[in-house]
Amino acid sequence: MDSAILALEDGTVFEGRSFGAPTERSGEVVFNTAITGYQEIFTDPSYTGQIVVLTYPQIGNYGTTPLDNEAAKPYIEGLAVREFSRITSNWRSEEQARDFLSAAGIPVVSNLDTRSLVRHIRSMGAMRGVLSSIDLDPASLVEKARMSPSMSGLDLASRVTTPHIYDWTKGVLPCSPSERVKADAAQRYHVVAYDFGIKQNILRRLAHVGCRVTVVPALTSAEDVLALRPDGVFLSNGPGDPEPLTTQIGNVQRLIGKTPVFGICLGHQILGLALGGKTYKMKFGHRGANHPVLNHLTGRVEITSHNHGFAVDPDSLSATDIQQTHVNLNDQTCEGFRHRSEPVFCVQYHPESAPGPHDSHYLFDDFVQLMNDFNPALAREKAGAR
């Protein structure tokens, strides 16, 4: 088996074996602590521009299936793992994970000391790197890492968004035939979802709670969205730095007060900026499926799924207008807020849970309730239709 090297911009080099495509890719090196859900991680557009280190020691042992894709293709730049399983054992598997990544041109380095690598990133912070199985000169790769572009200051959302408007027609979450018929019949709320890098399980979850979803490109104007006569607007997850997204921020500002708005991840950050707040880059971000978040509204702790490297500064938001609703118990970062007078709320984490726990599914029900509260006539119409 061929060798592969992951070189960081600070001169640190990790050597291992090549398991993916025989190529070379650069990106920001980050880590994810989830135990399962590697395929969802591979295909999450929020990982655009990033080389992902998975802390769970064995990856690939249950293969891949198209049903678990969060997008049409993998978006990670590269993958670093301790061990890439040679055996796939799962009745749902249709393709080995290594073949899935190789076909997409994604390089993988295995047999690598991921514990040491993650400890280094935690200490020094996320940094640029190059993963290569074709250039095995450490000094050359370190220099390439130093010359690679930074993630900050780029509009990555416009790079990964859908090029055209479309209606979500792939149905709801996997369920029994009777539940599916019931869910399909209940899709009476029209939600327009901004695609900043949207995950398919978000669309399934919206459909599951009775929403007919129209997905629009990231730069769609507020006026064009309102012309679709939505009952609510959803702001999706997505990659990179939120501050360069000035057009998207301006569109959201013009939507506030005109329709209910629910945002997650990048959508949460865009809402923070649209409401006059500020964001900042975290040292190494939150990426995993076990982050404890305190819900101030209920007093309950939710175990949540995360993928972000930027956060909203809660002190930059007006306490008169904004109520912080969720906080991360590991580092006290802002995990959610709502507007005190407008129909707006958001969370930083991923309540659609792909992968991850289901503690936060209630937020999609809260969105439906917000649409009902904003338009009582709509609520009566929906109730009558049932």
Residues known to be catalytic: 265, 350, 352
HSE of 66, CA atoms in CB hemisphere, 13 A: 2
Q: Which of 248, 291, 222 is nearest to 157 (CA)?
A: 248
Helices (H) and strands (E) in the chain, counts: 12, 19
Write out the two tokens for 261: 């708005």
Nearest-angstrom CA–CA distance, 123 and 232: 42
Indicate the residue type of 154.
L
Contact of 316 with 337, CB cutoff 8 Å: no
Q: What is the edge-to-edge ordering of all strands in the sheet holding 278-295?
A: 166-167, 211-216, 189-194, 232-235, 261-264, 344-347, 334-339, 322-328, 278-295, 301-313
Q: Which of 284, 280, 295 is nearest to 126 (CA)?
A: 284
- CA distances for 141 relative to 6, 50, 110, 274, angstroms: 8, 16, 18, 40
Q: Which of 34, 39, 33 is nearest to 66 (CA)?
A: 39
